[in-house]
Chains A and B, each alone.
Chain A
Amino acid sequence: MMSVFKSMPVSGKLGSALVAFWLFIALFGPWLAPHTASEIVAYDVFEPIGGEYVLGTDYIGRDVFSRILDGTRFTIFIPLLAAALACSVGTLIALYSAVSHPRTDEIIARFMDALISIPSKIFSLVMIAAFGSSVPILLTITAISYMPGSFRIARALAVNVASMDFVTVARTRGESRLYLAVKEILPNILHPMLADFGLRFVFVVLLLSSLSFLGLGVQPPEADLGSLVRENISGLAEGAPAVIVPAIAIATITIAVNLVIDSVRGGATYAAKGK
């Protein structure tokens, strides 16, 4: 693990540090916050940075710093769970598909292709209109939105591996399809699927934040970073940190994860070139 970190370019190290930082905030943020998220601490709304309150106050005089510390957990943990669900379910269906009869494989692939053709924002809007937007439903929606993409990548990888000699050998040996999928194919596609997991996480963070920004995501009294941008948007005319800081916070999370994935992949291709 350490050697992976050491071999990263500067951008990757910066990304990893930021990811560690945000994970820490997501885990311990509520305990670190100087005020509770809902407490109205000041008479003045939209106070600037560096006054009595580190990041100023929001549209009704709550402490922005505390609200960000509290809201980060939604922005990190819902996408983390959703991406994990999307990737694992996608991979499982892909494995099943890869060792099944070609016709079954074809039907599953066709259906997944149809699901991919519904842009994730559009799918989420329809689902939210039908089922509302509680946290479990948001988790389900975002997981379903990105599962077909995971499936497509896992299937492409699995079909490649399934055509290799050692799988043919195992099949001739009379191993069950479950054995083929889990013992022969899965270990060989796990690594690229981890990179895919990182990408899905970024997608879900952006989707969830966008939904919350539209007022259709995490609902009050709970607020993720996207909701913070929405509720304080009237402070934009004053350049209030209450609008800009949560938005920048989201960007640093997603950019950091992208940088980490890019440097891990870059390292892998350099290694493949025999460097």
Chain B
Amino acid sequence: MKVIFQLILKRIGLSLITLLIVSTVVFFIANLLPGDAAQEMLGQSATPEAVAALRDAYGLNDPPLTRYAKWLGGLVTGDAGTSLANSRPVSELISSRLSQSLLLAGLTAVIAVPFAMVLGIVAAMHSGRRIDKIMNIATLSMVAVPEFLLATIFVLVFAVELNWLPSLSYIPSDAGLYDYFRAFALPVATLCIVLSAQMARMTRAAVLEQLSQPYVEMALLKGSPLSRAVLRHALPNAVGPIVNAVALSLSYLLGGVVIVEVIFNYPGVASLMVDAVTNRDMPLLQACAMLFCTGYLILVLIADLAAILANPKLRTGG
């Protein structure tokens, strides 16, 4: 038991180091071009004195390492600086959007995870047969489809032709359950399709790996039906690999929401980040980027921890 705690602590430590490297990469890319920010905020007609004063006020004259340390210290204490575009605190801008993005991602996960697991397990049980081949082609195609194609087709069919759902995701202030359903149906469906395809493929691989083990063959030989061999014998052993696959697939959402939020005009962090790119609002952009990278690292960490906990060899340290 002690070994496993050490292993987990070590793994968490590695994630923190990775996060630190990521923060340096993000900061130095965003600040490679020096001096732009102050000039841009004040416009071409600004006097050199005004630009210099502003540079001073924002600490842009400090050496890069000092600025990096200040920025990182701020991030850790929850102060991510001030937005250049509208002078509001970055943390305030993000926090008002974060719950929206999490809601979108959470709803997608709640629908996509069970769906993809059933697909993956069914495909693995029938591996090599027609249903598996059809699902292979279908999922292979769906992971290659750009999100904006799915989104535009959905809008065309359900909003324009059938006129069932709105093409923009707008939630009125006195929204009932039905309003929420209408607002979320299309964005969630778009994300679900690509995510489930990916997750189903990984789940299939994880289950198939177990099915090729001798103990499953043994169960089949002693006469247990395939469904029992899969559900009672293989599945408990595949839980670790499946959780691993699910966590890794969920990281797709971090990129997927960018397109979906913009298309459906959904007020989340990703659309905030795209606006930050357009406005070259670096403090906001850096904070959003760190948020997404942290989310990714947490998912990878969960995936690895699942693999550690599921592997008896690693668990006993032997």
Contacts and interface: CB of A to CB of B under 8 A. Distances in A.
Given A118-B22, A239-B161, A125 B277 contact: yes
Contact of B143 (A117, A130, A239, A258): A258
Given A110-B17, A122-B289, A236-B160, A262 B145 contact: no
Contacts of B33: 130-131
B274 A117 contact: no
Interface residues of A, number: 46
A118 B293 contact: yes
B285 A258 contact: no
A210 interface: yes
Given A111-B21, A129-B276, A247-B152, A259 B146 contact: no
A114 B18 contact: yes
Determine chain B's interface SS by DSSP, over half rule: helix
Contacts of A259: 137, 140-141
B293 A210 contact: no
Determine chain A's interface SS by DSSP, over half rule: helix
Contacts of B18: 110, 113-114, 117
Interface residues of B, number: 51
Contacts, number: 140
A60 B125 CA distance: 53
Contacts of B273: 122, 125
A119 B144 contact: no
Interface in B70-85: none
B22 to A, nearest CB: 5
Contacts of B292: 119, 122
B99 to A, nearest CB: 20
Interface string B287-306: 01100110011001000000
A236 B152 contact: yes
Contacts of A160: none
A209 B136 CA distance: 24
A214 B273 CA distance: 12
A115 B28 CA distance: 13
A148 B71 CA distance: 26
Contacts of B25: 114-115, 118
Contacts of A125: 258, 273-274, 277, 285, 289
Interface string A178-208: 0000000000000000000000001000100
Contact of B149 (A121, A126, A248): A248
A269 B70 CA distance: 53
A127 interface: yes
Contacts of B153: 244
A244 B152 contact: yes
Interface in B115-143: 136-137, 140-141, 143
B32 A117 contact: no
Given A129-B277, A247-B152, A254-B145, A122 B282 contact: no
Given A209-B146, A239-B160, A126 B255 contact: no
B193 to A, nearest CB: 12
Contacts of A119: 251, 254-255, 292-293, 296
Contacts of A209: 146, 148
Interface of B: 17-19, 21-22, 25-26, 29-30, 32-33, 136-137, 140-141, 143-149, 152-153, 155-156, 160-161, 167, 251, 254-255, 258-259, 262, 273-274, 276-278, 280, 282, 285-286, 288-289, 292-293, 296-297, 300
In the A-B complex, the 6 residue pairs with the smallest Cβ-Cβ separation, listed nearest first, are A114-B21, A254-B144, A247-B149, A121-B255, A129-B277, A255-B141
Given A126-B277, A210-B147, A251-B149, 8 more contacts: A110-B17, A130-B29, A130-B30, A214-B262, A226-B148, A236-B156, A239-B160, A258-B143
